[in-house]
């Protein structure tokens, strides 16, 4: 048993890189040692897990990601770093009160190189499923799915739908509908080829396109 002199309630706990971590909203407590006689607790004042967002803790490629009061943080063992600046002025809260009066909050899981989190937007008071791609460092808003729990098994991401409490999958495993979504991108004339006498010929000098830069304007919700 150990006592900690920091203020506030405990908001989350997880094991990361072999160390138990315990969070409050403004503190991180890291437990060192391998037997009771040498246990030590290091307390760091930093952006901790937001109250009600204990289920947002998830490990992605050896990095710990979670919902803090001020945004989404990534922790690599030193200090948390905010990775949600792309949200702009839109704030996402972690806590909602269910029909039983219990505080329920943001829920997250990881699969491959992606971090999935279900949380509520304060802009319209609606829940959304938002995905962070660690390779491109981009965020994508998937849809208005509210999730109660995530689990990654054999390359598939499973989740429980809050609306009907059904078990569903992100990538569609086990469903009969395997059809692809129809889509295409069409450009103007690139201009590297000419038509002469009914056939296509290369331009002089064997010119070729080395890079395409595409700019797109999409309507809201696309």
Decide: 144 and 126 in contact? Cβ < 8 Å.
yes
Tokens describing residue 75: 């922790």
Higher pLDDT pick, 63 / 38: 63
Q: Is the pTM for the entire model greater than 0.85?
A: no
Contact 120, 92 (CB under 8 A): yes
| DSSP bridge partners of 141 | 130
pLDDT at 100: 65
Give strand pairing partners of 62. none
Residues 108-165: tens digit of each pLDDT: 999 999 999 999 988 888 899 999 999 999 999 988 989 999 999 888 899 999 888 8
DSSP state of 61: T
Residue 205, pLDDT score = 73
Asked if 58 contacts 110 with a C-beta cutoff of 8 angstroms, the reply is yes
Contacts for 111 with CB less than 8 Å, ≥ 6 apart: 152, 155, 156, 157, 170
Amino acid 197: pLDDT = 52
71-75 vs 81-82, strand pairing mode: antiparallel
């Amino acid at each position: 048993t150990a006592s900690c002199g920091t203020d506030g309630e405990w908001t989350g706990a997880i094991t990361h890189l072999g160390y138990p971590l315990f969070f409050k909203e403004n503190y991180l407590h890291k437990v060192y040692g391998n037997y009771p006689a040498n246990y030590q607790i290091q307390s760091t004042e930093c952006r901790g897990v937001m109250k009600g967002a204990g289920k947002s803790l998830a490990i992605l490629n050896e990095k710990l990601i979670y919902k803090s009061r001020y945004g989404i943080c990534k922790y690599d063992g030193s200090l948390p770093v905010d990775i949600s600046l792309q949200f702009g002025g839109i704030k996402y809260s972690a806590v909602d009160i269910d029909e039983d009066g219990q505080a329920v909050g943001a829920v997250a899981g990881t699969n491959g190189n992606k971090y999935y989190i279900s949380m509520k937007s304060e802009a319209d008071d609606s829940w959304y499923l938002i995905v962070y791609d660690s390779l491109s460092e981009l965020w994508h808003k998937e849809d208005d799915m509210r999730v109660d729990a995530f689990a990654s098994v054999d390359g598939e991401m499973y989740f429980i739908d809050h609306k009907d409490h059904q078990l569903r999958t992100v990538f569609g495993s086990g469903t009969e509908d395997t059809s692809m979504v129809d889509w295409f991108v069409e450009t103007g004339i690139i201009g590297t080829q000419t038509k002469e006498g009914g056939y296509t010929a290369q331009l002089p000098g064997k010119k070729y396109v080395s890079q395409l830069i595409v700019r797109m304007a999409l309507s809201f919700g696309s």
